[in-house]
Structure 1
Amino acid sequence: MRRAGLKWLALAVSGLLAPIGTVAEAKDAAPDAATRAWWALTRELSSDAMEGRDTGSPGYDRAAAVVAKRFAKAGLKPAGEGSGWFQTIPFEDLRLAEARSRLTIGGKRLAFNREVQLAPSAATPKALAAAATFRGYCSADEIGDVKGRLVVCYGRPAPARLKGFDRAKALHEAGAAGMLLIAAPGLPGEPIRWPFAYSRSVVPLEDTVKAKAGAPFLQGVLDPAAFRRLTPRAGAILKAGAAGADLPLAELGQAAARLTIVRRVTRSANVLGLLPGTDPALAGEVIVISAHLDGYGRGEPVSGDAIYNGTLDDAAYVALLEQLAAARAGKGFRRPVLFAVYTGEEKGLWGSRWFVRHPTVPLASLAAVINLDQVRPLYPLKVLTVHGLKESALGDLVRQVATARGIAVQEDPEPERDLLRRSDNWPLMQAGVPGASFVFATYDAASRARYRDWYQRRYHHPADDLATPVDWQAAADFNRFFTALTEAAAEAPERIQWHPGMRPGGD
């Protein structure tokens, strides 16, 4: 964190900052006191005053300070670096200065973040002059001679024949000037959302030190609507791509770019607190409960709103960790419970990855991870999709706790979205810790419509804010389920183990 952020942390943890939200502000939001209190905590963390809690921002630092102060008040023990609450990560932050940059293809200027989003890196060129070409899905047999060319590929979702084939690497090695993936049409449950907040990359400094830029190479994604402006064949191409059919190739004219990338070194911290266990024999079986505090911060305005508050993604579930800590008031379960609030999730799961690389609690002592992300209480809770349901005894506990509350559970019906690997449970699971995370499953036309509306209008957009139409009974039902599951895991008669042959591996 920047020095100003560290000052915020020090003041807030010492109790010199007044809370922003109160239970009174949420008095009409929910039907029961516990849910109203939870929403008041959510209100504080996701108000405009926190500016969307972007990784490395003063708004994130203020929110982290609030979390640490609440953990301290609840009787948790600091579990960060140096016997403190925080685990600080130095980041390199690369951001495209849109006002000082320009990209044209075939003489048509593309609007950054609304028609094209770039992924800045050490390899991003300051200037580009190259022929642009569309090469279908950019499979090995479609690429051909692309030396010196900007290559456009039909990007998402890609057909099965591309599984395991790294298009960017292949194009870079073939001497291409860059690659733009057409972000269309998206998956049925997760449509592509334009605009994007910004063209930006955030990576831990220790990774950038190891990285080699190599030859200049531009990378980004292209809006299908913008692609329609580049070639009269776009309509037929997009239709065929949506069906997974073979695609024709097309030349797109000359590409020209002038790009200004602003580099900063920032710091942002995980917040870590420990509720000690009551059974000394189980001190080496820590249950991790986690959520991410970071959001997108300030970005491309949508309907005049430039603050991406991240209320349900994921302030509400950091608030749920705070609420559980307060309810326990220092009273432990048999096993210790680590409350892990991560930074950098939206930029690449960096907070949880960093914790695994630099654990402040021995990795071998971690018995299970229950992660809260992707939880959207938009309609009644009847079925939970559980990532990690079949892999370990934690999934068995999830089933038992859910069934006792009249909640059905199911395995992921949309494995193509790869949600298991897209949340902070995954780095710990890779490191050998049994884990689980949750999604409210849809079950009828109304729930499917609300779920899709969320992804079309709110997910990673400013409209994920306090005006989101929450189903308060569903929120209360999930919150009670989570509390009961945490207790079941922390009080289980035996250590949670992987089922034979089910431990995940690889990236």
Structure 2
Amino acid sequence: MAIATPALAQTAPAISVDTLRSVTKELSSDAYEGRAPTTPAEEKTVAYIVARMKAAGLQPGNRGAWTQDVPMVQITAHDVAPFVFTGGKTPVSLAYRTQMVAGTYRVVPRIAVKDSPVVFVGYGITAPEKGWDDYAGVDVRGKTVVILINDPDWQTMTRDGPFEGRAMTWYGRWPYKYENAAKHGAAAAIIVHDTEPAAYPFAVVQSSWTGPQLELDEKGDHMDQSQVIGWIQKPDAEALFASAGKDFAALSEAAKRKGFKAVPLGVNFATSFTNSVRRQASKNVIGVLPGTTNPNDYVMYSAHWDHLGHCTPVNGDGICNGALDNASGVAGLVALAEAQAKAGPAKRSIAFLAVTAEESGLLGSRYYAEHPVYPLAHTVGGVNMDVLNVNGRARDFVITGAGKSEIEDLVKPIVAAEGRTISPEPDPERGGYYRSDHFSFAKLGVPMLDGGSGEDLVVGGKAAGHAANEDYVAHRYHKPQDEYDARWDWSGAVADLDIYYTLGRKLADDTGLWPNWYKSAEFRGVRDASRAGAR
């Protein structure tokens, strides 16, 4: 069974709905145990993806092999002591899982922080180009920093502001905040969870941050990182500040303005836990359709195969199956491989990359970008897929992180040919551009499209689309309820995949195309240097 989009039916082989259904259903079944990397389920997952790529007509993508080893270290925290804050009006003790989560990047058997002075550093941002430094004038070496999630201007409903207003920037993302705290020598870095600016409920933090945690296995064992990284809930942060004689709301408001000065709270922090450490390689899967005249230039399609594995049970179900996130994206990857192979080789090579450990911080794509099978200077661009639309056809198409690259100029006429319009991101405060694998490529100069159906559904309009997206985030995202549903309407996914197919084919057949970043984009310089070296 296949559905073809009318506007593109003459040029694109039909995307197979049977493939979308079968791959999604298979990978999200309980037999794959939620596809956690470096678990026994990984071998089964990788074998299935390789079999589907091979059946689609691809060739092994890594010098005769189907996989790329990604060295991982798994750290599992045990006996996590409460977060205890002393020295205030009353002691504050926060329980693991229910009120806080804790972990570490350091590869050590035990973590212990004691009598560490606590400092509120606002949004924890150091951005010289914006004249902004929340760490100015304060020495946090050996101290514990408390940080707000998102950017200072996240409540601005427009895109105006020092940090792009409502749209979250890289400075608003939690990985940046921990990274910057470590650069300043903080012993512990604690982010305050608030559902709206975080863009997900605390249940997502609980499922993602408890149990085994993965990081790339690199020289130095990450000893340059803070000893403790974690989250606390906003009501508990308010109680902590009150104990310290401070007003959380007032200080949070002050942190929105340039020139904010970090505030010592006059309390000390302590926690401890032990770690079990396991080193094991995970795998990226890569297949290729070699080009005819320019085989050393590559167009890339990517999607992550991993999910959370066993997680916090809901109604007795403790497997986070990840049907939409991201078995559906892998299904799209396989369906595109089938279509591109059926159309025959393009002038440039087309690569299909299923990466590991996206849910652990984009680790698989980061490793590939830093150790590419195909030189990034010869990677033209491409498409990343993370959660396909199963709500039905949409009238509109949304480009995540719009305003960054010339890929957008190429996709807009393809969208128009479908009779669809481009809409702005409905929830730019969620920072979607920095939360999936295209970002690993972007940081090293390669522009990748991250875009898909908007909320204006053909059946039900914007209200139905918005309700469906909100329902997914609230009730299924990173929870055991993200399971395959035979009732899903795949027509919207097919319409998007037709766009991805046509964009990829254009990039692969027009050998004069080398899409760059707009001059205002933060990734322009690295792309220019990369391409200059290639020439």
Asked if Structure 1 and Structure 2 have the same fold, meaning a TM-score greater than 0.5 normalized by the shorter chain, the answer is yes
Per the alignment, residue 377 of structure 2 pairs with 364
Q: Check conservation: 1:53, 1:59, Cα contact below 8 A.
A: yes
Distance 1:328 1:376, change over 3 A: closer
Amino acid at match of 1:154: L
SS at match of 1:127: strand
Distance 1:483 1:239, change over 3 A: farther
Amino acid at match of 1:220: G
Q: Are 1:237 and 2:216 matched, yes or no?
A: no
Distance 1:301 1:425, change over 3 A: same
Residues 386-437 of structure 1: per-residue CA shift (max 9 Å, x gap): 1375544432231122111122124546555443333222232333333211
Distance 1:382 1:253, change over 3 A: same
SS at match of 1:54: coil
Distance 1:385 1:468, change over 3 A: farther
Deviation for aligned residue 1:188: 8.1
Per the alignment, residue 484 of structure 2 pairs with 466
Per the alignment, residue 118 of structure 1 pairs with 102
Per the alignment, residue 271 of structure 1 pairs with 285
SS at match of 1:241: helix
Amino acid at match of 1:76: L
Per the alignment, residue 82 of structure 2 pairs with 103
Deviates more, 1:174-183 or 1:455-464: 174-183
Per the alignment, residue 193 of structure 2 pairs with 183
Distance 1:274 1:130, change over 3 A: same
CA distance, structure 2, for counterparts of residue 167 and residue 339 of structure 1:
32
Per the alignment, residue 501 of structure 1 pairs with 519
Q: Check conservation: 2:305, 2:356, Cα contact below 8 A.
A: yes
Distance 1:251 1:324, change over 3 A: closer
CA distance, structure 1, for counterparts of residue 254 and residue 429 of structure 2:
16
Distance 1:297 1:429, change over 3 A: same
Per the alignment, residue 217 of structure 1 pairs with 227
Deviation for aligned residue 1:95: 1.8
Distance 1:151 1:303, change over 3 A: farther
Per the alignment, residue 445 of structure 1 pairs with 463
Amino acid at match of 1:286: Y
* Structure 1: stretches of 5+ with no match in the other structure: 1-21, 24-31
The count of aligned residue pairs is 471
Deviation for aligned residue 1:269: 0.6
* Structure 2: stretches of 5+ with no match in the other structure: 3-13, 86-90, 125-132, 154-160, 164-168, 457-461, 527-535
CA distance, structure 1, for counterparts of residue 347 and residue 224 of structure 2:
52
CA distance, structure 2, for counterparts of residue 455 and residue 256 of structure 1:
33
Distance 1:440 1:113, change over 3 A: farther
TM score, norm. by length of structure 2: 0.76
Residues 154-201 of structure 1: per-residue CA shift (max 9 Å, x gap): 344545889979865776687754231111143385555453333454
Residues 293-312 of structure 1: per-residue CA shift (max 9 Å, x gap): 11111122234322111111
Deviation for aligned residue 1:337: 0.9
CA distance, structure 2, for counterparts of residue 397 and residue 41 of structure 1:
29
Residues 361-409 of structure 1: per-residue CA shift (max 9 Å, x gap): 2333321221111544435412221137554443223112211112212
CA distance, structure 1, for counterparts of residue 508 and residue 146 of structure 2:
51
Per the alignment, residue 130 of structure 1 pairs with 115
Residues 430-478 of structure 1: per-residue CA shift (max 9 Å, x gap): 3333321114333533322322222222222222221497443323322
Per the alignment, residue 328 of structure 2 pairs with 316
Residues 329-357 of structure 1: per-residue CA shift (max 9 Å, x gap): 56323332101111121222222222222
CA distance, structure 2, for counterparts of residue 307 and residue 110 of structure 1:
27
Deviation for aligned residue 1:78: 0.4
TM score, norm. by length of structure 1: 0.79
Amino acid at match of 1:357: E
Q: Check conservation: 2:152, 2:256, Cα contact below 8 A.
A: no
CA distance, structure 2, for counterparts of residue 339 and residue 170 of structure 1:
33
Q: Check conservation: 2:389, 2:490, Cα contact below 8 A.
A: no
CA distance, structure 2, for counterparts of residue 493 and residue 114 of structure 1:
55
Q: Are 1:332 and 2:345 matched, yes or no?
A: yes
CA distance, structure 2, for counterparts of residue 367 and residue 215 of structure 1:
34
Q: Are 1:88 and 2:69 matched, yes or no?
A: yes
Amino acid at match of 1:129: K
Distance 1:335 1:368, change over 3 A: same
Per the alignment, residue 11 of structure 2 pairs with none
CA distance, structure 2, for counterparts of residue 123 and residue 317 of structure 1:
32
Deviation for aligned residue 1:245: 6.2
Distance 1:145 1:188, change over 3 A: closer
Residues 113-148 of structure 1: per-residue CA shift (max 9 Å, x gap): 332122312287633332664636267479867676
Per the alignment, residue 148 of structure 2 pairs with 154
Q: Check conservation: 1:386, 1:411, Cα contact below 8 A.
A: yes
Q: CA RMSD in A?
A: 3.8
SS at match of 1:102: coil
1:436 to 436, 441, 449: 449
Q: Check conservation: 2:329, 2:387, Cα contact below 8 A.
A: no
Distance 1:187 1:360, change over 3 A: same
1:297 to 309, 314, 328: 309
Amino acid at match of 1:115: Q
Distance 1:59 1:499, change over 3 A: closer
1:491 to 509, 523, 530: 509
